[in-house]
Structure 1
Amino acid sequence: MTAQLGKPHSGWYLPAFTSELTAEVTPLEIGTRRLVAVRDEAGIRVFDADCPHRGAHLGYGGRLSGDCLVCPFHGRRIALGDTTRRWSVREHHVIVSGEAVFVRLADTPDDDRGLTRALKELGGTHPLTAAVIKPVDVDPAMIVENAFDIDHFTEVHKVPRLRGMAHRDGDEGELIIEGEFVMGAKPGSTSGPSVTRARFLACAYSPGVVVTRFGPPGWEQVIVTAAVPRESGGCVARVAIGVRPEQRGELPLLIGGSERALAEDAVVWERLNPRVVPRFDGGDAAVVAYRRFCAGFREPA
């Protein structure tokens, strides 16, 4: 069965920044999927949170004891990822890239879609910094879809002109859109070249994560935009920004710009009528391709 928009899927998520996981045990939520993050000598690890004994949430009151979590309900020792033991919870694949903690809800690498490789490359050049955490009352897939919604850049974000915006499939199953923003110099910028034409290259690695490289050659920044569904509805959007060491002075401006852009989008998102059946036209080809991409993800086991 394929995953539906807004439902937990087998691909990648960005459910937390490292600053949100300072305790040994922290509860996490990906829609109806209850998870628990554990900090131990191996770093940050993520597991299913339902105690197999009676269903208590191990993230609320559970305590780390060796290679187990002690359940807060009946004190059972629940093994972390060791399914050969009587009581255990499943472990999920985690990548920590800078301050961003990525989780994939799948046992196999089928739904990696190239994100592992991309994060390894970014870690050496553009370490990720936490920028924005924002609850939004919209289907989470809409957050990533924005990168493929070409017309909204001029109407919502007032980009003067776009050139050559075209989408394609990537070599590892990711979905890519690439083109050029034609714009004036960045207001308030204190360093770097005057930007008149900025390359835009966005790669969606799941319905929950898109990585965008933006800017002129040699001065591009990386923007990771992600969304995690909430069980109560809507989602939590997170944005991380990666810059080269010599660009660190740009971070406050870039973070402010990300906050403004997300707020501009939220005005539209939170007033969409979900009962309206989309009537796509030729300008929506990239959005249609993105929705087809989303349909290729299955519901996690």
Structure 2
Amino acid sequence: MIDGSQSMLRIELPDKRRRSLGAPLAARELADAPPPYPYGWFAVAFSGELRPGRLMTRTFMNREIVLFRTAAGTARAAEAYCPHLGAHLGHGGTVVGEELRCPFHGFRYAVSGRCSYSPYGAPPPAARLGLLELRELCGVLMVWHGPAGEEPWEIEPPEDQSRWRPLRTKRMRLHSHPQEVTENSVDFGHFSVLHGFRDARIVEPLSVDGPRLRTSYAFTRPFPVIGGIGTEIHIRVDGLGFSVVELSVKAGWSIRQLVLTTPTGVRDVDVFVGTSVRSRARGPIGKATLTPLEMLIERGVLRMVVVELLRDRQIWDHKKYLGKPAIAAGDGPIAAYRTWARQFYPEETPR
């Protein structure tokens, strides 16, 4: 019927017809992304970016925060605005020894957040810098996002930290969401179709333990001239923001690859990409011989990671998030992954 007051055409369907259409329409309901913003640890900078005495501003969960490192090397993450009168600490603020100085009135804050100096005498009791939980591991600064008052769980870093070279890094801005980026780790079907990997197989099936997810795959990665490189990857995921992939190739090299995704807006993310080789150099002669090769491998792997992310970007830029996808047998454990991912949102949040 036509409702003239609303200028809208409404078609009344028989009850039976409405019921038959309702189920598939509800099952295919489209939404732009999983709900922002998931709880967990998320990267805000590489360690090498924040040198002693430096202060920087980063976007985190659609708001600005500041990062600073004291002269002694202590790193902190804090709300961007001075609690005195609201000046943005990232615009003119400075690190003075072990303190952060506000550019507006010169108030200073210790690494505990306490106001340690006021030009007027005793600092106001309410002048306390809002600190965020921060951890530094694997060459990355990670900041916690979670419910107020809830103790954060801890990231389980790779056990073997010895002999790994410093990260070679890149930061990218993508139109996506941490849940979708991390879902790539279990979306077995897209490895061959989108990325062209051959002979893909599961080495260790998906396992989860609280906020941790682990799995392993093997495949042949296309490579010019030689045709392909046999690769085995071991994936370690802690929450939706920390993912370490350790690759073993037939030539005997072990390569560490980080792809860390941090929300900057409702559906925009910073992706921190890092690669490192486990050094095989021993002694002066070994270092002189192997270090240039190891650096070349790191650059090449970093380039390959970026190329593969750009392939994914072609999909992420235009796709919709389906809360109830029609999962096929060859997709991999996407349903199990999404069940695991629910823990990183408030219980009442629709997913």
Q: Which band: TM-score by shorter chain?
A: 0.7 to 0.9
Per-residue CA deviations over 1:23-52 (Å, capped at 9, x if unaligned) read 621112212343211121134322232333
Q: Which amino acid aligns with 2:94?
A: R
Summarize the Cα distance change of 1:71–1:265 in structure 2 as closer, same or farther, 3 Å threshold. same
Residue 147 of structure 1 and its aligned partner are, at CA, apart by: 1.2
2:284 matched residue in structure 1: none
Q: Is the 8 A contact 1:136 1:234 kept in 2?
A: yes
1:112 matches 2:143: no
2:161 counterpart SS class: helix
1:81 matched residue in structure 2: 112
1:34 matches 2:67: no
Distance 2:242 2:336 in 1: 16
1:101 matches 2:141: yes
1:126 matched residue in structure 2: 164
1:211 matched residue in structure 2: 244
Question: Aligned residues, how many?
Answer: 285
Distance 1:164 1:231 in 2: 34
Distance 2:161 2:269 in 1: 27
Distance 2:41 2:295 in 1: 27
Q: Is the 8 A contact 1:36 1:49 kept in 2?
A: yes
Q: Is the 8 A contact 1:214 1:222 kept in 2?
A: yes
Q: Which amino acid aligns with 2:88?
A: H
Q: Which amino acid aligns with 1:111?
A: W
Residue 66 of structure 1 and its aligned partner are, at CA, apart by: 4.8
Q: Is the 8 A contact 1:49 1:57 kept in 2?
A: yes
Task: Between 89-98 and 102-111, report the one with greater CA deviation.
Answer: 102-111
Distance 1:44 1:226 in 2: 19
Residue 153 of structure 1 and its aligned partner are, at CA, apart by: 0.7
TM-score for both structures, normalised by structure 1: 0.80
Residue 251 of structure 1 and its aligned partner are, at CA, apart by: 1.6
2:296 matched residue in structure 1: 249
Distance 1:125 1:104 in 2: 28
Residue 150 of structure 1 and its aligned partner are, at CA, apart by: 0.8
Distance 1:91 1:216 in 2: 39
Per-residue CA deviations over 1:87-136 (Å, capped at 9, x if unaligned) read 222242221434x3333346876422423xx2xx3531323413322111
Tell me which structure has the larger Cα radius of gyration: 2
1:137 matched residue in structure 2: 175
Task: Between 141-150 and 151-160, report the one with greater CA deviation.
Answer: 141-150
Q: Which amino acid aligns with 2:238?
A: Y
Residue 169 of structure 1 and its aligned partner are, at CA, apart by: 1.4
Aligned counterparts, 1:132-171, within 5 A? 132-164=170-202, 166-170=205-209
TM-score for both structures, normalised by structure 2: 0.70
Distance 1:154 1:248 in 2: 28
Residue 262 of structure 1 and its aligned partner are, at CA, apart by: 1.1
Gapped runs of 5+ residues in structure 2? 1-32, 116-124, 281-293, 347-351
Gapped runs of 5+ residues in structure 1? none
1:56 counterpart SS class: coil
Q: Which amino acid aligns with 1:202?
A: I
Q: Is the 8 A contact 1:83 1:90 kept in 2?
A: no
Summarize the Cα distance change of 1:10–1:292 in structure 2 as closer, same or farther, 3 Å threshold. same
Distance 1:61 1:5 in 2: 37
1:150 counterpart SS class: coil
